[in-house]
Structure 1
Amino acid sequence: MKRCVFNHLLLLSVAAALVLFVSCKEKNEQANNKYNETTQMLVSLVDNNSNLKSLLEEAIDKAKDINPDPETNPAQSLEKFYDFVDFSQTAMPWDVMTNCAGQQTLGGKMNQALCYCYFINTMELESLQGQNLFTASVQYVEPYRSWLVNYCKSWGNFLSSPQSWSQEYVDLVMAQPELRMEDYEPSANWNSFNDFFCRHLSSPEKRPIASPDDASVVVSPCDGVPQGVWHIDNDSYLENNGKVTIKSREFNSIRTLIGPDSEYADAFAGGTFYHVFLDVFDYHRYHFPVGGILKELKVIPGDDALGGYIHWDADKQQYIVDCEEPGWQSIETRGLAIVETDEYGLVAVMPIGMSQVASVNFEPTLKVGDRVEKGDMLGYFLFGGSDFVLVFQEGANFQLDIEENNNGGWDHMLMGERLGSITKTN
């Protein structure tokens, strides 16, 4: 009898343990299935890396102190951060951040999406000070740094898929005056959000090229707001132009920007560096600012970090990006086109990807040895932050021909407009 009772209890114990095991397994599977593959990769990295977990929690807490409103800063905890990361990968850019009262146009909402995705990533952390990162933020720390590239690719894959586009979205973008949709090709050509984002002009007349026959005139390679001109010293490092503070020389090496494996890496000592920032409502195809022979053409893989800072303006209820300070371009994914002009030496023409998709693309028909004319198509950006750099040699004496506005900066300009001039000095 006792043996029978014992066996019965043993069976009950085994059954209970089996039920508990199955229950736990189901819960774990449910937790794993809650997020997509890229988000789950982040969860796993954090679970197995106490330092990364600490850094992310520090960044989230600091961001929460700056903006405690969950309507405009939804990632108020690590769990909420995972939720936001997961949601954003299959969201339309104008649906990611809809509650920032200061940016309620369609372009404004896309801008806020770009900004908020890097609000936490760009938090300056006390625990990362003195580690020679571009900024003391988690976006530059492995393994998060590499994961961020995967996150950007995941969102980019969705935005390049047919699931990211519909007639509803066509009607929506066509109704936005700030997008200047009258400048562009028929919407029937777009089968995804990224097709729309890198849309072609309807005709060259929408962006006429200034002084096409005057080789001394440099035109803007893209739509955007000029950020300034910096002199390059004789050791190929950017010098302070008196307006912003330049960081460690490590991040301001033109040799690193061009790529040390390029035969032209040291060709721009004593020259001039210029960059322009594109916004989401801009034309996202870029063109040659000068004519000449194409000597080198390649994409240089790099980070998908922001390269600057995101500030929350509580009064205006919006996020603001600050990428004026140069140097970050040398660590981002970037394109390099070296053009040898007939009279003014070499010009490095460089589209710079930043944040989100950070996709830099060249026209497939271009090849080294081609002769290109000023205004010819060079390539395009897909959705994400975008910057563009021009580097001139010492003898070209590049000068901006555009006037500063009342704020000490420059007004928005269109691709093809006169940007500056080059004159031989030796």
Structure 2
Amino acid sequence: MSTEKPYPFAPGEWLPPLSRVFNYVNTLRDEALNGSPYSKDQPHSLDPKVKYPKVITDFRDLVKSDPGLEELSKKMFEEIPRFENDPTKFYNVRSFDEALMIFNIILFQSPSVMTLNSGLSGITVPFNAVLNWPANTPSGNEFFLNEGVNEKIKDIVNQWGAFLQSPASRAHLNTSDNGGWFSPAYVKRMKDYAQWDGPIEELYVCDPTIDYWGFASWDAFFVRRFRPGRRPVQDKDEPGIYIVSPCEAGPQVEEGKQYPEDVRTKGNVQARDTFWLKGQPYSIFDMLNYDGLSRRFVFGTVYQGWLSSACYHRWHAPISGTIKKVALIPGTYYSTVMSHNYPEPDPSGPNLSQLYLTSVATRALIFIEADYQPLGLVCFIAIGMNEISSCEVIVKEGSRVNKGDEIGMFHMGGSAFCLLFENGVNLKFEPLPDIPSNPHKLFKLNSRLATVIT
């Protein structure tokens, strides 16, 4: 596969084309190793004379104190194939310590938009750009399932999140063609995903006449709101038989399958299942962390959607009803399906492991008891992927929501969600919007997604 082209399967466009990713990571490595007396083609260790943030040294101390983890941390970099004849087009990070040295730069680096030929994306998952390659090795599979490893990664991501919520993160909230989130090219990308033809400031709450377009931080830009009235629930979709899209998102099905005929329905969604190499079955008990309400969804229906990094990232109620329960489930950050490891790794970590991530990634569960009795209980699952793991829920158990009310949001990147419906609820899913001039066929927030067939 050419590194100059976008990935063949990259729904969320969380990273630009591979050559741009490699250049980004390798440039950071060069910066981290600047001044080192050792050859750049050799693995480096953390410089004892440098004072690194505690989240970095804590992660290294965990790995160094555990012989098993230390061995995995070495082997996962050794198992990456190297193309020495063309180092500019492949991943050059040589060791776990080098990855930590790059993290030290990323922690205080403002996200920017990156372009290459026809490819355009923000690197909203920079840690994934560094870790995707060791994570796709046999040793990486084992390393990134370790609970202690995921706790330390969480600490690093949380510190990065604090930076993204500070004014210092706004450096690229401008119209510059060199990294600006309001550059003409990226504004077009946001408008295409939103199926919007007017000025961007008439779609989102922002002001081009104010510094940084009026945003207090990069995160504030990321969780930007639509202008009031831009995504209402239509009167024709108010009756309880209609489910609306809780996110600005496209449908996700297994690789090689088709929407809407291959949405997972009764008979296929098991209580428990084994994640075999080529398949990614939905396992209700794992998805819902063995919650007591899990059995109500066995043999039911699972709809999964994906969000682009250029999309709106708040969630809204797909139905009217009462919040029966809310739960936040910690999970893994860089675990992927083994069938997508080397020799042909998933070029963007989460892309080819979407169904698998519903059971292992950090996620938020919101159970809603529907006003419309034939629907019963519906569960919305917000799925955090890689460093995109901050799922903020803004509703509480016992509160009432109307269809279209805001219920939470993602922070720090694109992500995915699921809707779970009980066994016995028959649904007809809507076809995707057909817009010949727009390749991004997503359901608009609060637009009709499915109909209950009684």
**TM-score interval, smaller chain:** 0.7 to 0.9
- Could you say which residue in structure 2 is the equivalent of 1:169? 173
Q: Which has the larger radius of gyration?
A: 1
Give the 3 Å change call, closer, same or farther, for CA 66–370 of structure 1 in structure 2: farther
2:399 corresponds to which of 370, 376, 379: 370
- Could you say which residue in structure 2 is the equivalent of 1:22? none
| Partner Cα separation in structure 2 for residue 66 and residue 120 of structure 1 | 13
Instruction: Decide which moves more: 28-37 or 147-156.
Output: 28-37
Contact 2:322 2:369 in 1 (8 A): yes
- Could you say which residue in structure 2 is the equivalent of 1:147? 152
Give the 3 Å change call, closer, same or farther, for CA 246–52 of structure 1 in structure 2: same
1:219 corresponds to which of 244, 251, 258: 244
Q: Which amino acid aligns with 1:179?
A: M
Deviation of 1:41 after TM superposition, in Å, equals 1.8
- Work out the percentage of aligned pairs sharing the same amino acid: 22
Deviation of 1:71 after TM superposition, in Å, equals 6.5
Deviation of 1:112 after TM superposition, in Å, equals 6.5
- Which deviations, in whole Å up to 9, do the C-alpha atoms of 1:184-238 show, x marking residues without a partner? 1125552111111111111232465583323222221112221132135498437
- Could you say which residue in structure 1 is the equivalent of 2:135? 122
Deviation of 1:385 after TM superposition, in Å, equals 4.3
| Partner Cα separation in structure 2 for residue 346 and residue 387 of structure 1 | 21
- Could you say which residue in structure 2 is the equivalent of 1:200? 225
| Partner Cα separation in structure 1 for residue 280 and residue 98 of structure 2 | 35
Contact 1:118 1:306 in 2 (8 A): no
2:279 corresponds to which of 234, 245, 257: 245
Give the 3 Å change call, closer, same or farther, for CA 151–349 of structure 1 in structure 2: same
Give the 3 Å change call, closer, same or farther, for CA 147–338 of structure 1 in structure 2: same
- Could you say which residue in structure 2 is the equivalent of 1:423? 453
Higher helix proportion (structure 1 or 2): 1
Give the 3 Å change call, closer, same or farther, for CA 54–29 of structure 1 in structure 2: closer
Task: Report the TM-score, using the length of structure 2 for normalisation.
Answer: 0.70
- Could you say which residue in structure 2 is the equivalent of 1:19? none
1:110 equivalent to 2:123? Answer yes
2:284 corresponds to which of 254, 262, 282: 254
1:83 equivalent to 2:101? Answer yes
2:380 corresponds to which of 349, 359, 382: 349
Contact 2:136 2:342 in 1 (8 A): no
Deviation of 1:330 after TM superposition, in Å, equals 2.3
Contact 1:301 1:332 in 2 (8 A): yes
Q: Which amino acid aligns with 1:292?
A: G
1:69 corresponds to which of 84, 87, 97: 87
Deviation of 1:358 after TM superposition, in Å, equals 0.6
Task: Report the TM-score, using the length of structure 1 for normalisation.
Answer: 0.75
Q: Which amino acid aligns with 2:402?
A: E
1:358 corresponds to which of 389, 405, 421: 389
| Partner Cα separation in structure 2 for residue 196 and residue 404 of structure 1 | 27
- Could you say which residue in structure 2 is the equivalent of 1:9? none
Deviation of 1:152 after TM superposition, in Å, equals 1.5
Contact 2:245 2:318 in 1 (8 A): yes
Alignment of 1:18-417 (within 5 A): 31=48, 33-65=50-82, 69=87, 73-94=91-112, 101=116, 105=120, 108-110=121-123, 113=126, 115-125=128-138, 136-166=141-171, 169-171=173-175, 172-175=180-183, 176=186, 177-180=188-191, 181-182=200-201, 183-187=203-207, 189-206=214-231, 209=234, 211-228=236-253, 229-233=263-267, 236-237=270-271, 245-246=279-280, 252-260=282-290, 262-305=291-334, 307=336, 319=348, 321-323=350-352, 325-341=354-370, 342-343=372-373, 344-363=375-394, 366-402=395-431, 411-417=441-447
Contact 2:271 2:295 in 1 (8 A): no
| Partner Cα separation in structure 2 for residue 55 and residue 30 of structure 1 | 21
- Could you say which residue in structure 1 is the equivalent of 2:259? none
| Partner Cα separation in structure 2 for residue 271 and residue 194 of structure 1 | 36
Deviation of 1:263 after TM superposition, in Å, equals 3.8
Give the 3 Å change call, closer, same or farther, for CA 63–411 of structure 1 in structure 2: farther
Instruction: Decide which moves more: 29-38 or 280-289.
Output: 29-38
Q: Which amino acid aligns with 1:348?
A: C
- Which deviations, in whole Å up to 9, do the C-alpha atoms of 1:70-124 show, x marking residues without a partner? 56524233443222122121122327xx5x846753xx13256364144135213
| Partner Cα separation in structure 2 for residue 232 and residue 124 of structure 1 | 35
Please provide the CA RMSD for this pair: 3.5
| Partner Cα separation in structure 2 for residue 212 and residue 356 of structure 1 | 35
Deviation of 1:34 after TM superposition, in Å, equals 4.1
Contact 1:285 1:379 in 2 (8 A): yes
- Could you say which residue in structure 2 is the equivalent of 1:6? none
Contact 2:80 2:134 in 1 (8 A): no
Give the 3 Å change call, closer, same or farther, for CA 114–392 of structure 1 in structure 2: farther
Gapped regions of structure 2 (runs ≥ 5) = 1-44, 192-199, 208-212, 254-262
Give the 3 Å change call, closer, same or farther, for CA 74–206 of structure 1 in structure 2: farther
Contact 1:155 1:357 in 2 (8 A): no
Q: Which amino acid aligns with 1:185?
A: V
| Partner Cα separation in structure 2 for residue 208 and residue 311 of structure 1 | 42
